[in-house]
Amino acid sequence: MERQRGRGRWLVLFIELALLAVIAGAFVWAAFTGNRQPAAAVSPSPTPALIIAPTVVPVTATDLEAQIAAVYREAGPSVVNIVSRSISYDFFFNPVPRQGSGSGFFYDTLGHIITNYHVIADADELQVTLADGRALPAQIVGVDPSNDLAVIKVDLPANEIRPLPIGDSTSVYVGQFVLAIGNPFGLERTLTFGIISALGRVIESPNQRFIGEVIQSDVAVNPGNSGGPLLDLTGRVIGVNSAILSPSGANAGISFAISARTVQRVVPVLIREGRYPHPSLGVRVIELTPQRAALFEQAGMRLPVTQGLLIADLIAGGPAEQAGLRGPDRLARVGNLNLPIGGDVIVAINGQVIATSQELLVYLETETQVGETVQVTVIRDGRELTLPVTLAELRF
């Protein structure tokens, strides 16, 4: 009897263990099959690697090196060395030869070469050295000091010219890899590499105006690189290397390039007309600041704004005068200053807020053309009004 009871207990224990094994197996199966459920049935874990991995294509150092080398092989033959020569005279009227050098690149198969204005300014003679070592004379086709751009031309068969494609500088971004090819210190077709550091910079032009839409990079650029191309990794020109910021005059990791958008706007006009017309409102202005506004208040001119451009003078017969904008009607003395009183204050153009002379010039240069009508918003007698103004060509 006791044996039967013992066997019964062992049988019950065996059945319980079997049931536990079945239950544990079910949990294990659920754990493995749970990952295969539809996304809607499971709350996804926010793992950045799982989100990013499908959209990232790994690039090895070897891949990048190969791409850079390929761009140099394709674009290098299109870059030229430019030597400018001129004659000046000393105090005793003795001739003093001068020589400078820079870079350029072929724009089309007609022999047109893009470079900087300051590379060829005041040149009596230009010589272009090609990638194969041939030296050719060049002629100036058109210049634009305000954008530091120039076009020169050499006589060469079309089948011997490889123009560089002009890219879209509006789609570039900070951190993007870029390359420069040029002739720093006369070292022909030197390649340097870096990234775009900033966009939309404004720099001074050779004629003391402002150039907008400038691309800043950390690519090594030195004297002689001016006029050479700034390229993306597809070999397209996104800028023309123009200037550096450096206490020593050599590369300090800050270089500036005229954007491809500016090139596309200016160069065809230089080839066609030899010059580029710059739009103007026909006004001379004073930049308002809180301190200056306080001075005008003392002179009896109440200003409801402390930022904007107070019209100090209207060019006779200019666009602003013809459109009905007002200049000053009297002068008032405050301390040692004679202040023009009564003029309109320009605060916006086409809805774009304008607070400084630099902003005005850059907006007109980059967003408008001669002959275009813009909407100028002004403050007059404490009220805001908007007047249409048709832009004319700036006369230097």
Token pair 């197996």 is found at 25
Name the DSSP class of 37.
Answer: S
Catalytic residue flag (residue 112): no
CA distance 211 to 259: 10
Using alpha carbons, list the distances in angstroms from residue 179 to 23, 98, 320.
65, 30, 44
- Please count the CA atoms within 13 angstroms of the CA of 394 that sit on its side-chain side: 18
CA distance 118 to 211: 14
Indicate which residue of 148, 218, 232, 344 is catalytic: 148
The answer to whether residues 214 and 257 touch, using CB atoms and an 8 Å cutoff, is yes
Element (H, E) at 151: strand 149-153
Indicate which residue of 84, 112, 118, 259 is catalytic: 118
CA-wise closest residue to 103 among 124, 77, 79, 84:
79
- The values of phi and psi at residue 59, to 5°, are -120, 120
CA distance 377 to 384: 7
Q: Which residues contact 302 (CB under 8 A, 6 or more apart)?
A: 382
Element (H, E) at 12: helix 2-34
Indicate which residue of 101, 146, 205, 226 is catalytic: 226
Q: Which residues contact 138 (CB under 8 A, 6 or more apart)?
A: 82, 113, 126, 127, 128, 152, 153, 154
Helices (H), 35-137: 48-52, 61-75, 117-120
Catalytic residue flag (residue 226): yes
Would you please indicate which residues are annotated as catalytic (active-site) residues? 118, 148, 226
